[in-house]
Amino acid sequence: MIRVSFFIMGFTLLFIACKPGDEKKKDSVSNEDEINNLIKKRYSKFLDYELDSTAFARSYNPKTNTIKKVPSSNWTSGFFAGNFWQIYRLTGDDSFKESAKAWTAFVEREKYNDRTHDMGFKIFCSYGNGLKVEANKAYEDIIVKSAKTLATRFDENIGSIRSWDWNEDVWQFPVIIDNMMNLELLFEATKISGDSTFHKIAERHAVTTLKNHFREDGSTWHVLDYDTISGNVRARVTHQGIHDDSAWARGQAWAINGFTTTYRYTKDKRFLNRAVATANYFINHKNLPEDGIPYWDFDHPDIPNTSRDVSAAAIVASGLTELYQYTKDDTFINYSKKVAESLKSTGYILPEDLDVPFILDHSFGDWSHKVEMDEPIVYGDYYFLELLIRLKALGF
Ligand code: GLY
């Protein structure tokens, strides 16, 4: 293991805590070269860091002036590697490709980790992005092996992939809506290997989620607990939302993005309709601010005096670039464009002279642990970069 010191450059900075939306569109980076240069400038600070297989950058805490670093087993490790790939795709700068390869290699060990459902986040956001840049047989083999490992968490009787192994005194078989984001890895593993098992498991998981996870109004619960004997739902609760029946913003985002991706691989209209209904719930919600960046929970009693979640907006906006292509519904692409503009504006994008190597401020981490509540977080940047790549591919 490479011994590390992930040193943080002179953070004698003044962290400008602009309130999101305050300066909306007053001062925004609008031209493509300008935004790409700013992104490069911000992330080039990470290029200087020593490689450390146990220290993937995850978030920045302005109060302690520290970067939170996590091992490859953390659900966010793939985003850090993925961001280097995506910046390379946006800018063509080879130094980002070299870092992408190095950090991606550190994620490989996760292909054996059967104790979590987060395989897609870790392996597909790293190796999957690498394959978008160039063909690589070794990367394909890692994706297939990871899919095999993830498949061991599938329960035939319940029809779902188990999310978590902890809290066993309370939950028998917890499945969280976030799990929809792991299906792309399985669909791709079938395409690579020709083994239809992975595709079938992903499709079955999506059907079970479709049946049980959604409310009449189009929103999704966060956690469903299944009975391991009968296969029935035992409870519909939250872990990261403000209360069990609230609409946790990032959960809605995972559902919209995940069902859109699932439609891409299956062409099953039920999945398309699900993505559309939840997208409409999200973008038409009375509590969604004008700039398109939601509060971290749509049902928070303190709105507007609570934090936004940039990551939720970016996940939805990126997903809607794809949903727009299937539906030709302009409201979807208009939301994507609006979010891209908002995030490029003062208050969200970190200023050029600030010595913090992330791109966006104001993502919301985890209420249940009271951590990363309103900070730059690696997955906010990841889906923002994906959004920019996708908008560019559509000619916007
Ligand atoms: N899957 C964890 C999260 O969205 O916070």
pLDDT category at 356 given cuts 50, 70, 90 is confident
**Residue whose token pair is 């993502």:** 363
Which tokens in the block code for residue 164? 């978590």
Name the packing angle between helices 197-212 and 249-266 (round to 10°). 140
Report the alpha-carbon distance of residue 220 to residue 353 in Å, rounded. 40
The predicted pLDDT at position 16 comes to 41
Q: What is the pLDDT of residues 95-105, one digit of tens each?
A: 999 999 999 99
Q: Please report whether residue 332 resides in a domain.
A: yes
CB under 6 Å to ligand 1: residues? 75, 178, 240, 250, 366
Q: What is the pLDDT of residues 241-262, one digit of tens each?
A: 999 999 999 999 999 999 999 9
The predicted pLDDT at position 21 comes to 53
* pLDDT(6) > 70: no
Q: Please report whether residue 15 resides in a domain.
A: no
Q: Higher-confidence residue: 20 or 382?
A: 382
Domain at 139, CATH number:
1.50.10.10
Q: Is 94 a catalytic residue?
A: no
**Annotated catalytic residue within 33, 52, 94, 178:** 178
* pLDDT(9) > 50: no
Separation of 306 CA from ligand 1 center, angstroms? 19
Q: Please report whether residue 2 resides in a domain.
A: no
Q: What is the pLDDT of residues 167-212, one digit of tens each?
A: 999 999 999 999 999 999 999 999 999 999 999 999 999 999 999 9
Separation of 264 CA from ligand 1 center, angstroms? 23
Q: What's the structural domain count of the chain?
A: 1
Cis status, amide bond into 376, omega within 30 of 0: no
pTM: 0.94
The predicted pLDDT at position 349 comes to 96
**Residue among 58, 75, 161 whose CB has most ligand 1 atoms within 8 A, to mutate:** 75
Q: Please report whether residue 49 resides in a domain.
A: yes
**Boundaries of domain holding 73:** 32-393
**Annotated catalytic residue within 33, 94, 118, 268:** 118
Separation of 269 CA from ligand 1 center, angstroms? 27
**Residue among 250, 369, 370 whose CB has most ligand 1 atoms within 8 A, to mutate:** 250
The atom of ligand 1 lying closest to the CA of 366 is 5
Picking from 287-301, 316-330, 340-354, which range would have the lowest pLDDT averaged per residue? 340-354
Decide if 219 contacts 275 (C-beta within 8 A): no
Count of other CB atoms within 10 angstroms of residue 11: 15
Q: Is 178 a catalytic residue?
A: yes
- Give CA 281 to chain center in angstroms: 19
The predicted pLDDT at position 95 comes to 96
Q: Please report whether residue 150 resides in a domain.
A: yes
Q: Please report whether residue 22 resides in a domain.
A: no
Name the percent of the chain lying above pLDDT 90: 89
